Amino acid sequence: MKIQTAAAAAVADGMWQLLARWRDQSLRDGWRYVRDWFVPEVEGMAFSVMNGASSDGSARLLGASRSFHGVGIGETMADLSSLFAAAGLPVDQSALQEIAVGWVEASEQNQPSSCTDVRTGLATTAHFERVLQDARQAANGAGKCMLGTMLFSLMDKQLKGSWALSAEVGRICVEEFTGESAIQVYRDARVDFLIRGSTKDLADALRCKKRLEVLRNGALGTCELQYRPLPSTDAEAMSLVAQLRGFPVRRQSR
């Protein structure tokens, strides 16, 4: 069964209203941890429902994301059913099947429960996102932690998937970030890291940047070091996670 265009009228009050209702309904239906519900893929799924389009592709992506983050397949499928309940629509059985397919395919490739990326020795993307969400909720608006990013130009694109280079980047990060609260993740020519923001932490980051810039005679290229506060809302958090993964971000009114 495919969703018809009448779905748009059922959720005409907007994307974020639907997302909020979906999350609340999912929590009532058994979702266990509110902190890990918001991922970029929920926006795509809600967008499909809101516009009455086929949601099969979005469902498969969401299933893969839930698997990647360690959510069980039963909880994942129940969560999707909660979306249709929140939208006042019958469950799309095709989407339910696709979310299961996405979950299974991802589970065969990933180790969602692992905290350490075997290529770098740093955090996995999933673990970094979990820590980021925990830090955001613990801050209570006080900004106790900050997010830093090192963006490299990586002129030689063939090095993008180099295991050897990834291992060297990870080793340098582990050696230079000495604070107990520091956590880093490396992927696609960027290092994201979470620190307390003390003078020592900032010095660690600068020293790491300088070492990475000269690694293999400058193989990573020039580096831009950026800092930003932790997001204060769920909308900002989801947008940030999407940016960290390189997803396009749609601007939606709340």
CA dist., res. 97 & res. 99, Å (int) = 6
Write down the pLDDT at residue 202: 93
According to DSSP, the β-strands at 190-195 and 146-152 are antiparallel
Top CATH class of 125-245 equals: alpha beta
Q: What Å distances lie between residue 245 and 39, 86, 240, CA to CA?
A: 11, 28, 9
The phi and psi torsions of 195 (rounded to 5 degrees) equal -135, 165
Which pTM does this prediction carry? 0.61
Q: At what angle do helices 199-213 and 163-176 cross, to 10 degrees?
A: 150
189: left (phi over 0), alpha (psi -120 to 50) or beta: left
Beta bridge mates, 191:
150, 186
In 136-156, which positions are buried (b, 16+ CB within 10 angstroms) versus exposed (e)? beebeeeeebbbbbbbbebee
Q: Give residue 89's pLDDT.
A: 93
Distance CA 115, CA 98 (A): 27
- pLDDT tens digits in sequence order for the chain, 254 residues long: 333 333 443 444 588 899 999 999 999 998 988 878 989 999 999 999 988 888 889 999 999 999 888 888 888 999 999 999 999 999 998 999 999 999 888 876 765 456 878 778 888 888 888 888 888 877 654 447 899 999 998 867 667 667 778 888 998 998 899 877 789 999 878 999 999 888 999 999 999 999 999 998 888 989 999 999 988 887 888 788 887 776 654 444 33
Domain ranges of the chain: 6-107, 125-245
The full DSSP string for 166-229 is HHHHHHHHHHH---TT-EEEEETTEEEEEE---HHHHHHHHHHHHHHHTGGGTTT--EEEEEEE
